Amino acid sequence: MAPPFLGVPRRGIVSVVSTAATLERPPERAAPPSALRGFAAVFVAGGSAGIVVGGLGSRIAMRIAALTARDVAQGLTTEAGATIGRITFEGTAFLVVAVGIGTALVGTAFYLATLPWLPRRRPLRALAFGGLELVVFGTVVLDPGNPDFTILGRPLLNVLVLSSLFVLHGVALVLLIEPSGRLVSAVARGAPWRARLDDAGTILAMGLTAFGALALVGRATGWATPVTIVLVLCAAGLILLDPHRTRPVTRPTLRVAGAIALSLLTISGTVGLVDAVTTIV
């Protein structure tokens, strides 16, 4: 059986929505409210994890790097234009809003793109997704060419702190899906306009997540670009295609092709991450 798709609570008017249920049940002309709100749970969890871990977490990581930097580094300007040892409202707002939102969009898109191949059990799924985020996206931050690792003077500590953000974001996103589902259910319960507003917000979040998927493909270079496209398309097919109206070979083909694409990205990312970390440290 496929891994759980959306962690919507089992009690109440909203039932658990799973990948298996989504794929095995013939689609209706309009998505049932429970399914739509199940997607909403993922978007709420992704947004929360992005703002808290991606945004505030980045601010905390930078502060740790500044506090542990050598005295001669205080007052120097980093590659991003920040002054070491100085906290500004503008810098904090940029990290929370820009980095947080960017992390939310790309992270949510990446979760949906990898979900069919993640473990079924939630704790294992959380750890697996956190690890995938680290190996696939880690070199975006852990760049050996960034002089900040030399300026700040604590490269090993900085690598550990920054690496933990990727894992924590992935774990937080997965673990927040179930409570987010309860929140969405509570908000939608009651007057019909609340349910419609909830569904409209979910549709808007779907559009924004589509931009995250485009960014996910856009950041890839060389052979990784078509491989990422294959992964996204295979995941979309497994989630959206009606198995009763497709050939028997379609789903197994999508699953195998997506698994190969994800494996290639994981292996390549792991090699690049290890090389970056050994160079920095």
6, 18 Cβ separation under 8 angstroms = yes
Nearest to 160 by CA among 125, 136, 134, 129: 134
Q: Helix, strand, coil: what percent of the chain each, to 5?
A: 75, 0, 25
Q: What is the pLDDT along the chain (281 residues), one digit of tens a residue?
A: 334 444 434 333 333 334 333 433 444 444 444 566 678 899 999 999 999 999 888 888 887 877 776 665 555 555 555 555 566 667 677 778 888 899 999 999 999 999 999 999 999 999 999 999 999 999 988 888 877 666 666 788 889 999 999 999 999 999 999 999 888 888 888 778 888 888 888 888 889 899 999 999 988 889 999 999 999 999 999 988 888 888 889 999 999 999 999 999 999 999 999 999 999 88
244, 26 Cβ separation under 8 angstroms = yes
Confidence (pLDDT) at 89? 65
Whole-model pTM: value is: 0.81
144, 4 Cβ separation under 8 angstroms = no
41, 5 Cβ separation under 8 angstroms = no
Confidence (pLDDT) at 106? 94
Confidence (pLDDT) at 49? 95
| Distance of alpha carbon 15 from alpha carbon 18, whole angstroms | 10
The DSSP bridge partners found for residue 14 are none
